[in-house]
Amino acid sequence: MSSMCFSTPSYSYANLDLFIVFPTPAPLHQTSLEVEVQTWLSYLHQTYPNPSHQLYTRATVMYRDSAHRNNWLPYEECANLHTGAIISEWLHLRLEPSIIRLGLFMSLQKTWVGNLRVNHDYPQHFWVAALRQAPDGVRGKELIIWDNGWEVKKEELIQKKKKLSINYGMIGGQRELYKYLKSPSKGKLNICKIWIAGTGTKDNCLADSVAWIQNILQTGGLDGDLAAMGFDNLCK
């Protein structure tokens, strides 16, 4: 046991490095509540501070705008969806151009229009988006998507001889994000390049997405050559 005596008069607490260990939240699964997801986002932000990356921790980004979110408010059984964020809230925090903006996103996989379910238990797909300054003096931003189902979709596109493009490669929510970001009246961003990567599995997309965010915050992995990291460039 250490012989350090904290009662020594000459000891200065100003010289003591204090480390706060945050308890690891319960494991996530596909039916985890949004409050559990928010706990994980806060945990990652506090446990893996990364000066070059800024993770949005308030909520999962689920909606393109307030009107989109308000569609769900009348349904009490959809309370888990009421606290989801809109895209403009993700963009609200001002960052230095060199800081990479990260966020967890969720897209419903089936429209409820003409397909109303009693419990509104629509399939959900989670993925991650990031924005970084284009390298080498290029003006604009690069949109980076991580989707655990990408490798499956990529193989399907190759077999069908389809282009790896925005129209074919992105799911609906990802295209909505891209359209919002480049809209002159909304995001007002010059998106000069779009990158996408992922694994070959579609299951456990929530847990996989959060685990990928953790890895990025630990390694600062989005600062480098995305092509060398296995990302594909989607053509417009």
Tell me whether residue 13 is in a domain.
no
- Residue pair 191/178 in contact by the 8 Å Cβ criterion: yes
Tell me whether residue 15 is in a domain.
no
Q: Bigger pLDDT: 8 or 46?
A: 46
Q: Bigger pLDDT: 79 or 84?
A: 84
Does residue 171 surpass a pLDDT of 90? yes
Largest CA distance in the chain: 76
Distance between CA 47 and CA 199 in Å, rounded?
Answer: 25
Does residue 5 surpass a pLDDT of 60? no
Tell me whether residue 103 is in a domain.
yes
Supply the pLDDT for residue 236. Answer: 87
Tell me whether residue 57 is in a domain.
yes
How many domains would you assign to the chain? 1
Tell me whether residue 63 is in a domain.
yes
β-bridge partners, 165: 235
Q: With 0-12 CB in 10 A as exposed, 13-18 as middle and 19+ as buried, what is 137?
A: exposed
Where in the sequence is the domain holding 219, given as residue range(s)? 31-234
Long-range contacts of 71-80 (CB under 8 A, 24+ apart): 75/120, 77/119, 77/120, 78/120, 80/33, 80/34
Q: What is the chain's mean pLDDT, rounded? A: 87
Q: Output the pTM of the full model.
A: 0.87
Supply the pLDDT for residue 110. Answer: 63
Tell me whether residue 205 is in a domain.
yes
Distance between CA 47 and CA 22 in Å, rounded?
Answer: 7
Tell me whether residue 7 is in a domain.
no
Measured in whole angstroms, how far is the alpha carbon of residue 152 from the centre of its chain? 20
Distance between CA 103 and CA 60 in Å, rounded?
Answer: 7
Tell me whether residue 154 is in a domain.
yes
